[in-house]
Amino acid sequence: MTDQMLFTPYTLGSLTLANRVVLAPLTRNRAGKGFVPSEFAATYYSQRASAGLLIAEATQISQQGQGYQDTPGIYTQAQIAGWREVTDAVHAKGSRIFLQLWHVGRVSHVALQENGAAPVAPSALRPATKVFVNNSFEDVSEPRALDVSELPGIVNDFRQAAANAIAAGFDGVEIHGANGYLLDQFIKDGANIRTDAYGGSIENRARLLLEVTAAVVSEIGAGRTGLRISPVSPANGVSSSAPQAQFDYIVDQLNTLDIAYLHVVEGATAGPRDVAPFDFAGLRQRFNNTYIANNGYDLDLATSQLLEDKADLIAFGRPFIANPDLVERLKSAVPLAALNPATLYGGGAEGYIDYPTFAEANAQ
């Protein structure tokens, strides 16, 4: 039945996914001491393992890469061990899970940086955005521009984080190149006014993203590597004067690397899909491998995009928070539960692992 296409199996590289539903990465700010995943994380992800693919929350590749309190890392042995509990729980449910690798760049605060250092950025431009720190939302700190000599170290941090993710049992990684974080800051000329080999032209501004992607591919293989982008999203104060040309070029270069998938935020992150003109269908056709569509999807839009070959997989974000059984709810066309905004960021089990399934809610 064509209206059931979302629930049909899909082959992602060497992986067979049970359906075309993807759990999008969702920051929940519940990591414990040492930025180890929460003691409840294995339960949280296994509750949502009916999705064909889970992409675990954005996870910093280093202390410098952290921008919000209580977000997990993937750069220590304790963090690797904590994530192993999550991957084991998800695999026991028969699903697949990737880890999103994150460096926030200028979207950070001195309270999170080693010795109170300034956050780093392509250029010393402070965005008008806030981060969750000290149990509240505060303005980001003034950043400093990275020296070109520092960039190989950041590339290596991504490479090592990818290796650590595989050691933790993940099926692959997703490089976070979206939403106004470090790699996106380099891509977008509203945040990057450098005049060296990493600034100016479309090719130069894409250089760091492509170097990171190539390093990850060389470490864990193209079939285990995905990338998230947000071509026109103004998230965290970024902007691009020519997004179509910029991302057409990026996709052409990604095709030479043969990465497993491209995860695309279509429009403004968690906002309007039509925030700016962009040919997402053309980008999808330009990319050789799996295209994951994201932003404001419901069952009807997901089904139409799949049937029109505008996407291969559909990522759902916030609906998964209050609906651990989202796949079954969509398949059965039953109402979705609403999330509680007060428990979205930080805290413990409440608002994290205590949302009931539809069957549980109606049995009470």
* Alpha-carbon span 82 to 141, nearest angstrom: 30
Separation of alpha carbons 225 and 329, rounded Å: 30
User: Which amino acid type is present at position 360?
Assistant: E
Percent of the chain at pLDDT above 70? 99
Select which of 10, 181, 261, 345 is catalytic.
181
Taking the C-alpha atoms of residue 170 and residue 186, their distance in angstroms, rounded to an integer, is 27
Retrieve residue 264's tokens: 């695309």
Domains identified in the chain and CATH numbers: 2-363 (3.20.20.70)
d(CA 278, CA 231): 8
pLDDT band per the 50, 70, 90 thresholds, residue 1: very low
Q: Give pLDDT, residue 349.
A: 97
Q: Is residue 75 flagged as an active site residue?
A: no
* pLDDT tens-digit series, residues 110-147: 999 999 999 999 999 999 999 999 999 999 999 999 99
Lowest mean pLDDT across 41-45, 273-277, 319-323 = 273-277
- What's the Rg (C-alpha) of the chain? 19
Q: What angle do CA 183, 185, 189 make, to 5 degrees?
A: 130
Please check whether residue 137 is in contact with residue 148, taking contact to mean a CB–CB distance below 8 angstroms: no
CA nearest 51: which of 111, 3, 105, 10? 10
- The pLDDT tens digits for 171-207 are 999 999 999 999 999 999 999 999 999 999 999 999 9
pLDDT for 363 equals 82
Give the whole-angstrom CA distance, residue 251 versus residue 163: 24
- In the predicted model, what is the mean pLDDT of the chain? 97
Q: Give the DSSP letter of residue 34.
A: G
pLDDT greater than 50 at residue 102: yes
CA 72 – CA 92 distance, rounded (Å): 22
Residue 364 banded pLDDT, cuts 50, 70, 90: low
Contacts of 53 (CB under 8 A, 6+ apart): 12, 15, 17, 21, 22, 23, 95, 96, 97, 98, 313
pTM of the entire structure?
0.97
Q: What does each C-alpha distance from 207 to 100, 104, 152, 184, 350 come to in angstroms?
A: 20, 17, 12, 11, 42
For residue 22, name the pLDDT band (cuts at 50, 70, 90).
Answer: very high
pLDDT grade for 3, boundaries at 50, 70 and 90: confident
